[in-house]
Chain A
Amino acid sequence: MDKAISVKALTIAYGAATAISAVDLDIAKGKVTVLAGPNGCGKSTLLRAIRRLHQPKSGEIRLGDMPISGLKEKELARHIGLLAQSPSAPDDMSVEELVRLGRYPHQTMLQPWSAADADAIQAAMFGTGVSHLSERRLGSLSGGQLQRVWIAMVLAQETDIICLDEPVNHLDMAHQIDCLDLVTRLNREHGRTVVLVLHDLNLAARYADRLVFMKDGSMVADGAPVELMREELIEDVFGISCRVIEDPVHQRPLCIPIRNSSPRFGAAPQS
């Protein structure tokens, strides 16, 4: 396996509280890796750490052979793009103005705008199907359109690796599928390495080449969706008793939750 990123014995703490502890993980080049787990399991923290938004307490993250701690800000931003969880920009910013921001890591004082920038912006808007919206204000877009525009911004960054933190959180079902299909296409057609954080297990199983389960700050399991989508493992990680069947359309495992089996969520009294 060709590694895009390798995480070694990574521990991250917020003050005294340990957010993730001793995580080892290799992210395969050109694949879609999905980090999944219940709320507070540390999956977003791990993603943000991969993009160096958190300083590790111990351990190391390597991009290829280089430790990311040694890279300059812009250099790192030319390798890894990030679509943050609930990103924000002014309502009166135009779509094109936002997408243009993605070129920042490629620009210098002496070379502010090049033909390559213009091409990357056009290609990113075309690839995400938002070219016709370029003059529109962000505040006038629907949630689905807005998420496409944000993806276009990250795409314009032209990074080999794209990290997306809960990209479908606030979208309805049609736009969730739309958005994740788009991300998959970027992976299949452009060979980008994609790291996704998703808390919806079925979406995770459907779109992942490789699935990573996290629980209480530790990595619990790591493998292809068919290997990980086992009833006892899901019960252990997510605290639900469930049945797993095969999705008749996509031939991916599909989890049908039955009931909350975890006392920490205050399970309903058994009768």
Chain B
Amino acid sequence: MPLASSNTSIRVHQRIGRRALFSGLAVLLLILMYLSLAIGYRLYSPGEIWRAVTAFDGSEAHVVIRDLRLPRALMAPLVGAALGIAGVLVQTLARNRIASPDTLGLNAGAAFAVVMASGLFGVASLPGLSVAAAAGALATSMLVFGLAAAAGGISPLRIVLVGVTFAGLFDSFVNVVLTVNETMLDQLLFWLAGSFADRKLNLALNGLPFVLVGSGIAFYLARSLDILQTDDATARGLGVPLGVVRGLSFVSVALLSGASVAMAGPVLFVGLVVPHAARALVGLEHRLQIVAAALVGAVYTTLADILARFVIFPREAPVGAVTAIVGGCLLLVLLRRRAA
């Protein structure tokens, strides 16, 4: 069978290409993480960065590098990877390429919880708001999934409808509260716009296990998710227990987006755009899509976090604004290419 052997060779070629692609993205990510330590309002040399980490002397430069730059250099890729994977899961779950964790109302639910925590309980510290955000995202995911399931079978359409409804509801609540209470708006604006600035290292370390478990579940489901891209009858015909797979996917999305929103606030567009880039790079198999989305997401948010320091220099722009602008343009390019 000459046809078969040529197919095999194409696939081997692709596999080598993928390895190079993943390595390339990983190297790019490391370079960006280094740049995230080195450049900003002040520039630091490699030697100074090394000393700040290994031989901290309490100087201003070392404080900036260790306490301000290092947490965001670690948190930005972590959040980007988490949102990238969550985006892949949501788009497969919803069978809809314009769905994202935002579509399921998770960010809106987190924002609502933050506003409530701040308004009712006077929570003002970042760790406190993070806990509220994570709780809000998790509660919203349970609410959305529970309602979608209660309506009789969790169809992709119902998940999206319930999610969009809650996203709208929570957004309206937040807007009403913040319009009435301007002091609170000032206090929470930095959180609501999404940012990696002024986060403690601990916050990233606390988020890490959630991201790891969430990604682990996503990997475990990879083959079933491949099949979830087909219609329900075909998927069941292949032996996929739809309810179980959808439920576990939801848990994974909740962990990943909950951890992200707790760490950085709502960082928009990452979960929407990154899966498109991942599919363009490696195709539709989730084992590959998930790795690609994690790497691309990490590169994307780290780059956005660096850009955020310069777009309105010397002040810092919220990273959520940068990811939205860059992501919007990227999405337009992708859509144009597909339409052509």
| Residues on A facing B (Cβ under 8 Å) | 48, 51, 53, 73-78, 80-90, 92-94, 96-97, 100-102, 104-105, 107, 109, 112, 118, 122, 126, 131-132, 134-135, 154, 157, 165
Q: Which residue of B lies closest to A132 (CB)?
A: B3
A154 to chain B, nearest CB (A): 8
Contact of A53 with B233 at beta-carbon distance under 8 Å, contacts A102-B238, A105-B239 already known: yes
Q: Flag whether B284 is at the interface (Cβ < 8 A).
A: yes
Give the B interface residue count (CB, 8 A). 28
Contact of A101 with B226 at beta-carbon distance under 8 Å, contacts A51-B237, A84-B234, A122-B7 already known: yes
Q: Which 10 A-B pairs have the closest CB atoms?
A: A77-B239, A82-B237, A84-B233, A74-B239, A131-B3, A73-B239, A105-B239, A88-B231, A87-B234, A104-B238
> What A residues does B234 contact at CB under 8 A?
82-84, 87-89
B237 to chain A, nearest CB (A): 3
Measured between alpha carbons, how far is A51 from B53 in the docked complex, in Å? 61
| Residues on B facing A (Cβ under 8 Å) | 1, 3-4, 7-8, 10-11, 220, 223-224, 226-227, 229-231, 233-234, 236-241, 279, 283-285, 338
> What B residues does A93 contact at CB under 8 A?
229, 284
Q: Quick one: which of A81, A94, A100 contacts B237, CB cutoff 8 A?
A: A81
> What B residues does A109 contact at CB under 8 A?
220
Q: Quick one: which of A77, A92, A107, A131 contacts B7, CB cutoff 8 A?
A: A131
Measured between alpha carbons, how far is A263 from B109 in the docked complex, in Å? 56
Contact of A94 with B283 at beta-carbon distance under 8 Å, contacts A53-B233, A87-B230 already known: yes
Q: Which residue of B lies closest to A81 (CB)?
A: B237
> What A residues does B220 contact at CB under 8 A?
109
Measured between alpha carbons, how far is A102 from B229 in the docked complex, in Å? 13
Contact (Cβ within 8 A) B238 A90? no
Q: Quick one: which of A86, A97, A105, A122 contacts B285, CB cutoff 8 A?
A: A97
B218 to chain A, nearest CB (A): 14
